[in-house]
Amino acid sequence: MIVPKPVHCQARPGHFVLGGRTALAADPALGDVAAWLRSEIGPVIGGDLPPAAPGPGTITFALDDLPREAYRLTVAQDGVRIAAGGPAGAFYAAQSLRQLMPPAAYRKAGPGGELEIPAVHIEDEPRFGWRGCLLDVARHFMPKHDVLRFVDLMAMHKLNVLHLHLTDDQGWRVEIRRHPRLTEVGAWRAQSQTGWNGPLDGRPHGGYYTQDDLREIVAYAARRHITVVPEIDLPGHTQAAIAAYPELGNLDTPLGVRTGWGVGVNVLNAEDSTVKFFQDVFDEVLELFPSPYVCVGGDECPKDQWRDSPAAQRRIRELGLRDEEELQSWFIHQFDAYLTARGRRLVGWDEILEGGLAPGAVVASWRGDLGAVAAARNGHDVISTPSTSVYFDYRQGPGEDEPVPFGTVLSLEDVYAFEPIPAELRGDPAAERVLGSQCAVWTELIDSPRQVDYMAFPRLTAFAETVWSTADRDAADFLRRLEAHLDRLDAIGVEYRRESGPLPWQTRPGVPGRPESADTWQRKIDAWTGNLRRS
Ligand code: TNX
């Protein structure tokens, strides 16, 4: 009944009884995982799960000669034995063990008493090393408390990368000491567009994370074996920064933080001082986020302002570039060199392929498969995140009551059927370059943590199985296990989408969306990736 499905799972007769005095015995290297399990399960059974030496009746965490994220879990009448390649593997074993318990094991407190765990032998390890989820906290701010809750939900599904989209036209969400107006001004907008293109709602929106908040999120995630990859999106998607510091932009007229959606025309200018400004920003971001990977965005940068700006045209000549397209890749190269010099690896959206890249750069391929194939064949690592397969802002069904209908239909079954290795790379050694995949919760039309629950679950559960499990995909079997899993989500209080569609209070009648047909979408991808194909 475990999701994502383990590589090997064999039920055995009998069960283990977990009670308040059940002892936890852990190799010192795995002590923190045992402590995590104690703090989660202790309050449910009303006991303290004391530490002890291995012995009968205990739950034992031992190291074994296995890959870092692999584990073996044996539940027997006389004890539970976990053998893991390292702390991450032990943590995934503890997650599986918790799924073997009744759903009440997911509550914050329980009636006390004992939990029965069926005897079983599991051998398990993930298919991909990058099992990610992007959370867009820029379009709609998500309070820190809800981010931590989301981290726990990712951990429950054995995902290991949280990509935090921290800045965009509509909001700047990370405190930067050196440039305080980024949050003083950039974290707040006067109002927001209702739906995709409805009237402005007249309500201020905003929020940001202090540096201490982000240190807490990073540490909380690390304890759950999740790396937080920060994204500071540039040179497009920067109107909030330009609103705070107009000298970063191309216009003489001041801008506000953006209130509408869609690709924005206000982009950074290409002055050295602007590059320096953002390198100062990254100096602080790197301090907060130890992740080896750092995302600089690079997506959707309209070139109109550079075409119209005498200063940008002067820069193009000064730098000996051919045109605005090359100016975009020059921009990205400045940050590629900056990050490489600091021992980090640049991650960017597939648009960054359009001008050649440093060898260490990682491409997040979102517009179909083309970017993934091109990047892998050119020796770049790839994160496969095609919008029509893993963008959870896309509607979950064709019904008009989906809140708020956007993009093409991406059902639970579609996500389950998603294959992260593009068809064109199958059998090609370049397929090794696909580090894994990442689903994405973009939040233009998702304005609260409750809406995030609805859009992310249970599709995230299906996604977790596609990136973790090596087993053949069997949708009927998945849906059966999902039933038990939904009881766990209910115990946590996740307001997921039911098979029947949204509940009446989950619909948002009258809020304009932007539903599209699969054909329209494909035509759009073809047009967008024209540059990529030519390059
Ligand atoms: C494209 S994916 C974007 C985001 C939007 C998303 C909506 C990417 C690199 N850019 O800015 O939020 O589509 O689906």
The per-residue pLDDT for range 446-504, each reduced to its tens digit, is 999 999 999 999 999 999 999 999 988 999 999 999 999 999 999 999 999 999 999 99
Are 143 and 102 in the same domain?
no
**pTM, full prediction:** 0.98
What is residue 535's predicted lDDT score, i.e. its pLDDT? Answer: 65
Residue 489, in any domain of the structure: no
Are 359 and 256 in the same domain?
yes
Q: Mean pLDDT, to the nearest integer, of 153-174?
A: 98
Among the atoms of ligand 1, which is closest to the Cα of residue 237? 11
Are 113 and 179 in the same domain?
no
Residue ending a domain, choose from 429, 446, 468:
468
- CA-based diameter of the chain, in Å? 78
Task: Quick: pLDDT tens for 270-303.
Answer: 999 999 999 999 999 999 999 999 999 999 999 9
Task: Quick: pLDDT tens for 10-68.
Answer: 999 999 999 988 999 999 999 999 999 999 999 999 999 999 998 899 999 999 999 99
Instruction: State the CATH number of the domain containing residue 178.
Output: 3.20.20.80
Task: Quick: pLDDT tens for 365-388.
Answer: 999 899 999 999 999 999 999 999
Residue 487, in any domain of the structure: no
Is 168 among the residues known to form the active site? yes
What is residue 408's predicted lDDT score, i.e. its pLDDT? Answer: 97
Tokens of 516: 């599209």
What is residue 389's predicted lDDT score, i.e. its pLDDT? Answer: 97
What band does 121 get if pLDDT is binned at 50, 70 and 90? very high
What is residue 277's predicted lDDT score, i.e. its pLDDT? Answer: 98
Pocket test for ligand 1, best of 299, 354, 365, 438 (most atoms within 8 A of CB): 299
Q: Work out the mean pLDDT of the chain and round it to a whole number.
A: 96
Residue 394 Cβ inside 6 Å of ligand 1? The answer reads no
Are 104 and 140 in the same domain?
no
Q: Nearest Cα to 398, choosing from 409, 387, 406, 388?
A: 409
Tokens of 270: 């290409």
Total domain count for the chain? 2
Task: Quick: pLDDT tens for 402-454.
Answer: 999 999 999 999 999 999 999 999 999 999 999 999 999 999 999 999 999 99
Residue 442 Cβ inside 6 Å of ligand 1? The answer reads yes
Q: Mean pLDDT, to the nearest integer, of 110-116?
A: 90
Residue 299 Cβ inside 6 Å of ligand 1? The answer reads yes
Residue 195, in any domain of the structure: yes
How far is residue 140's CA from residue 448's CA, in Å, rounded to a whole number? 7
Q: Mean pLDDT, to the nearest integer, of 133-159?
A: 98
Residue 151, in any domain of the structure: yes
pLDDT of residue 328 exceeding 80: yes
Percent of the chain with pLDDT over 70: 100
Q: Mean pLDDT, to the nearest integer, of 220-228?
A: 98
pLDDT of residue 221 exceeding 70: yes
Are 148 and 45 in the same domain?
no
Are 88 and 169 in the same domain?
no
- Classify 390 as helix, strand or coil: helix
Residue 325, in any domain of the structure: yes
Percent of the chain with pLDDT over 90: 93
Are 393 and 281 in the same domain?
yes
Are 336 and 362 in the same domain?
yes
Residue 258, in any domain of the structure: yes
Residue ending a domain, choose from 468, 499, 528:
468
Residue ending a domain, choose from 75, 90, 124:
124
Residue 114 domain boundaries: 8-124
How far is residue 24's CA from residue 494's CA, in Å, rounded to a whole number? 29
How far is residue 270's CA from residue 334's CA, in Å, rounded to a whole number? 11
Kindly report the protein residue whose alpha carbon is nearest to atom 6 of ligand 1: 442
Q: Mean pLDDT, to the nearest integer, of 222-243?
A: 98
Instruction: State the CATH number of the domain containing residue 29.
Output: 3.30.379.10
Is 474 among the residues known to form the active site? no
Burial environment of residue 238 by CB neighbours within 10 A (0 to 12, 13 to 18, 19 or more): buried
Q: Nearest Cα to 200, choosing from 186, 208, 189?
A: 189
**Options 64, 284, 300, 495, the catalytic residue:** 300
Decide: 390 and 372 in contact? Cβ < 8 Å.
no
Residue 519, in any domain of the structure: no
Are 216 and 321 in the same domain?
yes
Kindly report the protein residue whose alpha carbon is nearest to atom 5 of ligand 1: 442
Taking CA atoms, 421 is separated from 127, 424, 467, 522, in Å, by 11, 8, 10, 19
What is residue 356's predicted lDDT score, i.e. its pLDDT? Answer: 72
Pocket test for ligand 1, best of 136, 196, 261, 300 (most atoms within 8 A of CB): 300
Please give the single-letter amino acid code of residue 513: G
Kindly report the protein residue whose alpha carbon is nearest to atom 2 of ligand 1: 366
**Options 157, 237, 333, 380, the catalytic residue:** 237
Q: Mean pLDDT, to the nearest integer, of 110-138?
A: 96
**Options 69, 168, 350, 453, the catalytic residue:** 168
Is 201 among the residues known to form the active site? no
Are 182 and 99 in the same domain?
no
Are 94 and 213 in the same domain?
no
Are 370 and 451 in the same domain?
yes
Residue 482, in any domain of the structure: no
What lies within 8 Å, CB to CB, of 220 at 6+ separation is 148, 151
Q: How far is the CA of 254 from the centre of ligand 1 (A)?
A: 25
